[in-house]
Amino acid sequence: MKMSIASCVLFGVACSGHPAAREVQVARPAPTRVEPKAIAHGTGPSLYDLGMSVTNANGDQASLDLDRGHPTLVSMFYGSCAAACPLLIDTIDHTLQQLPEDSRDGARVLLVSFDPARDTPARLRELVRAHRLDPRWTLASATDLDARTLAAVLGIRYRSTPDGQFFHTSAIVAIDRDGKTLARMDGIGDPSALVAALSE
């Protein structure tokens, strides 16, 4: 179990309780009937109603609903960002790691760049390699017009600056199998609401 003290605090796991008692419980779970998995349902309109397409790391046009059928973490970024974006990727990675095992494989991540000029498919592939992102992750870019639309729906604000950087807020939105919102996290912080939303 690779849980640090920090994540104990973050996720409300009892660190100083009675580890022995916990281990017994974990080691010998009561035999239970296998229940069908609870499927989480989000609220509000579906992100997939945007009917938008994005350019993926292979250079293909892909529908925004490419992960339909999977609970998905959606966010936006720009690849040349030095500070906040690696942190965003780390936070999502950390969120996936916190998921119960049977929810982990089914979860997906969709990161859409609002910097299509620089985040070319080749650059997106580089990012996938550099961060060792597994196939659950999709990195893509959207046109300026579509990026504004998606950002507006996700509640992410950004603007380009004269020196070619972007000022932006960060948010990670968890959506259900049909694109409806389950939970969101504004800024980069404690992802426990996202973990809970994607745990089935």
Partner 1 sequence: MKSLTVLALVGGIATAGPAHVGPGIYRPAFPTSPAEREIAVPGFWLDREPVTNREFGAFVRAQPAWSRDGVKAIFADPGYLDGATTAPTSAPVVRVSWFAARAYCAWRGGRLPREAEWELAAAADAHHRDASDDPAFQAQILSWYARTTPAVLPAIGGAPNAWGVRDLHGLVWEWVEDFTAALVTSDSRDPTRSRVCGAEAAAAKDPRAYATFMRFAFRGSLTARDTVASLGFRCAYDQETSP
CB of 13 to partner 1, least distance (A): 27
Residue closer to partner 1, measured from CB, 7 or 46: 46
Q: Is 41 in the site for partner 1 (CB under 8 A)?
A: no
Find the DSSP H helices in the chain: 5-11, 19-27, 84-98, 101-104, 121-130, 144-154, 192-198
Q: Is 100 in the site for partner 1 (CB under 8 A)?
A: no
Q: Is 82 in the site for partner 1 (CB under 8 A)?
A: no
Residue choice 67, 124, 170, 176 for contact with partner 1 (CB under 8 A)? 170
Q: Is 69 in the site for partner 1 (CB under 8 A)?
A: no
Q: Is 85 in the site for partner 1 (CB under 8 A)?
A: no
Q: Is 168 in the site for partner 1 (CB under 8 A)?
A: yes
Fill in the per-residue mask, 174 to 193: x = in contact with partner 1 (CB under 8 A), - = not in contact: ------------xxx-----
Cβ partners under 8 Å of residue 45, min gap 6: 180
CB of 39 to partner 1, least distance (A): 21
* Edge-to-edge strands, sheet with 108-113: 43-46, 180-186, 171-175, 72-77, 108-113, 137-141, 53-56, 61-63
CB of 148 to partner 1, least distance (A): 7
Residue closer to partner 1, measured from CB, 90 or 186: 186
The footprint of partner 1 on this chain (CB under 8 A) covers a number of residues equal to 27
160 pairs with which residues across the strands? Answer: 166
Q: Is 45 in the site for partner 1 (CB under 8 A)?
A: yes
| Phi, psi angle pair for 156, to nearest 5° | -105, 130
Tokens 């409300």 appear where?
Answer: 12
* Helix, strand, coil share of the chain (percent; to 5): 35, 25, 40
Query: What span, in angstroms and rounded, lies between the C-alpha atoms of 141 and 146?
Result: 9
Answer whether 144's CB lies under 8 Å from 116's CB: yes
Q: Is 159 in the site for partner 1 (CB under 8 A)?
A: yes
CB of 17 to partner 1, least distance (A): 34
Where do contacts with partner 1 occur on this chain (CB under 8 A)?
Answer: 44-47, 49-50, 84, 145, 148-149, 151-153, 155, 157-159, 161-163, 167-170, 186-188
